[in-house]
Amino acid sequence: MIEVTTNRSGGAAPEAAPQAKAEVSNLSFYYGDFRALKDVGMPVYDKKVTALIGPSGCGKSTLLRCFNRMHDLYPGNRYEGRITLHPDDTNLLAAGVDPIEVRMRISMVFQKPNPFPKSIYENVAYGLRVRGVRGRVALDERVEQALRGAFLWDEVKDRLHEMGANLSDGQQQRLCIARALATEPEIILFDEPTSALDPIATASIEELVTELKERVAILIITHNMQQAARVSETTAYMYLGELIEFGLTDEIFIKPRKKQTEDYITGRFG
């Protein structure tokens, strides 16, 4: 589980140090005059799950939505600092970088399932169509692949042309994950993906997240401490727009360095 540790006792071959997929540095974010993020800096490791935790309004969502430049959709927002995406070292926040290009590489799963009012097939195919994938065969193949990847294929393979909204909540969220997956992103952002789901659907999403990290970097917001402990390798605790503590999940949950983090994790506040 603790693959992230760099020094292991014993003679076993040391595992390769984790590769950073992205690096947040000196990131500040402003909604108009309000500074919602203050000098945040942390890595996002490739093929690992990074959990963002903290009380409501602490800036988790704001940080997450910087990664796919979602803030660009609304007026009066401003970024400062960098999010460097490896291996090409592109600064995702640079004015010269097209937000569309960023979203082509980093996809997102929302808090509430938000399938388009279109068929299951069209929902998954949408990201591909936007990228200009046209051939029927290519689309079919990648839609199936994505649905399999989201553990949804067996449930929907006979009704691909029914509306996505006809699925159960849990299935809808897996449909949204398939949609995010179809375009083979480098990072997937999850904004509290299970907060609207029942425990069984939640368990299947968590299992899915664990499966997906074999392939991509994952950044996930959660209000559920057990969930953070179950699915993530690294955890960032945020409070009032600041990154209070970042480290291995096991260390943060067992032996946090800061009192504030401990208070939040043990439920004494937040």
List residues binding another protein (CB under 8 A).
68, 70, 73, 75, 100, 103-104, 107-108, 110-112, 114-117, 126-127, 129-131, 163, 165, 176, 179-180, 183
Q: What is the DSSP letter of 73?
A: G
Name the nearest CA neighbour of 232 among 220, 215, 246: 220
Residue nearer to another protein on the CB measure, 116 or 151: 116
Residue nearer to another protein on the CB measure, 190 or 239: 190
Residue nearer to another protein on the CB measure, 10 or 117: 117
Is the distance from CB of 59 to CB of 125 less than 8 angstroms?
A: no
Integer Cα distance of 121 and 142 in angstroms: 10
At its nearest, how many Å lie between another protein and the CB of residue 169? 13
At its nearest, how many Å lie between another protein and the CB of residue 24? 19
Integer Cα distance of 41 and 56 in angstroms: 20
At its nearest, how many Å lie between another protein and the CB of residue 15? 33
Residue nearer to another protein on the CB measure, 31 or 116: 116
Name the nearest CA neighbour of 14 among 22, 4, 6, 23: 6
End-to-end C-alpha distance for the chain, whole angstroms: 28
At its nearest, how many Å lie between another protein and the CB of residue 161? 12
